[in-house]
Amino acid sequence: MKKKMFSNAQLRKLIIPLLIEQLLMMLVGMLDTVMVSSAGEAAISGVSIVNDVNNLIINLLAAVAGGGAVIVSQYLGNNDEEDTKLSASQLVMVAFVISTGLAIFCLLFHRNILKLLYGSVDADVMKAAITYFWITALSFPFLGVYNSSAALFRSMNETKATMYVSFLMNTINLVGNYICIYHLHWGVAGVAWPTFLSRVAAAVIMVKMAFNSEMRISVTWRKILSWNSQMVHKILTIAIPNGVENGLFQLGKILVSTFVATYGTYQIAANGVANSLAILAYTTEMAMQLAIVTVVGQCVGANDYDQARYYMKKMILLAWGMAIIDNALLYIIIPYGLKLYTLTPETALLAKRILAMECLAVSLLHPLAFVLPTSMRAAGDAKYTMYVGVLSMFLARVGGAYILGTVMGLGAVGTRMGMYIDWCVRIVFFVKRFYSGKWMNYRVIED
């Protein structure tokens, strides 16, 4: 193999800030739930079910940013400066339009959405959910712009910038939560408003930084306000399959959460608390998914598939090793983490059981089930990963969750088991695809 495109030092420069950034985001998400737990289990449950819906929006916006990152990375690897900057500007424009549309839809129909999905929950849970949903929906346009701008910095291996902005965003969120919940006693709203303010601040800062013309990737108002249908099509070629997969993936999780919502408040609360702590199990995985888009995208842009294959294997093995360490540490701190919440003994016991299952499953299965398809998507093979992801989600996860959780009476534990079955199905198809080499036939840009 010729000289490597990314040295170990460059990979460390890319990955370590992403790890810190993801850890910060996940810790703040966990502390959100800890703080709102002081308002009671109805508040925890309300935030939990809305987060399932919000995560659908977040995943859609992440798909748009991810699709743009693939295109920008491929142009960067191809040393095409003009199209690199054009694709960057068009990404910011597309992200803003889509995120604003989603925000308007959620603001208009937030009550209808929640009643459709969770009409069976207690009245106090629904009240908390409605409050939390409409406030956080206001932040979607800012989140979309932040995600797209951050994707540009990741594409050029400038992840320290996104790490610093993420630190600021999460500090605003955390301090705001503390003031609004413990001093102003706003309850659920005290978690929602700081989230809104932190996303506004992060979006403004990231966009301003993206206008720096001295960087390899930068944006201009002229290119943002224009509409280049060819470039938008390329971005959406990756973003739409990615968005469909991510969106239906999250929709499947919402359907599963509707099963959990019928199991009673203590199971909803236990599931919500487990989710808030379990995000720590995915810290290294999320960072590696972001990093591998940059690396594989640039290799494919340079038309060097030998290096793309090399880095895919290397980074998946690295992700696997980090996942094992990450989840071993999480398993050790589970008892201490649960003490941060105001829970009944029954709720705490169920949350502990779910978290133990999560640590084991993520360590064994998650890198191949999710980091591998992300790398193939970075090469342009987005439709195959979409088809597999969507079918596996509904047939294995939703179907398995209903059978195990509802029919067999295993409750929230059964819904988790359905999720792990989904992961196993994904691994079979994605590993086969990787070794077939068919993922190498879908480069998006032209030389």
pLDDT 10s per residue in the chain (447 long)?
Answer: 467 889 999 999 999 999 998 888 777 766 766 777 776 777 777 887 888 788 888 888 988 998 899 999 999 998 888 999 999 999 999 999 999 999 999 999 999 999 888 887 788 889 989 999 999 999 999 999 999 999 999 999 899 999 999 999 989 988 998 898 888 888 888 888 998 999 999 999 999 999 998 888 999 999 999 889 999 999 998 888 988 887 887 778 778 878 888 887 788 888 888 887 888 898 899 999 999 999 999 999 999 999 999 999 999 999 999 999 999 999 999 998 888 777 788 888 999 999 999 999 999 999 999 999 999 999 999 999 999 999 999 999 999 999 998 899 898 889 999 999 999 999 999 999 999 999 999 888 876
Overall size of the chain counted in residues: 447
Q: CA 415, CA 122: separation in Å to the nearest integer? A: 21
Q: What is the pLDDT of residue 380?
A: 92
**E strands along 222-273, which residues?**
none
Q: CA 313, CA 362: separation in Å to the nearest integer? A: 18
Q: What is the pLDDT of residue 30?
A: 65
Q: Dump the DSSP string for 22-89.
A: HHHHHHHHHHHHHHHGGG-HHHHHHHHHHHHHHHHHHHHHHHHHHHHHHHHHHHHHTT-HHHHHHHHH
Mapping DSSP to helix (H, G, I), strand (E, B) and coil, where does residue 344 land?
A: coil
Contacts of 129 (CB under 8 A, 6+ apart): 45, 46, 47, 49, 50, 114, 118, 121
**pTM as predicted:** 0.83
Q: What is the pLDDT of residue 447?
A: 64
Q: What is the pLDDT of residue 262?
A: 81
Domain-by-domain residue ranges, the chain? 8-441
Q: What is the pLDDT of residue 37?
A: 73
Contact 200, 142 (CB under 8 A): yes
Tell me which residue of 102, 390, 80, 368 sits closest to 234, measured CA to CA: 80
Q: What is the pLDDT of residue 244?
A: 85
Contact 205, 165 (CB under 8 A): yes
HSE-up of residue 186 (Cα within 13 Å, Cβ side): 17
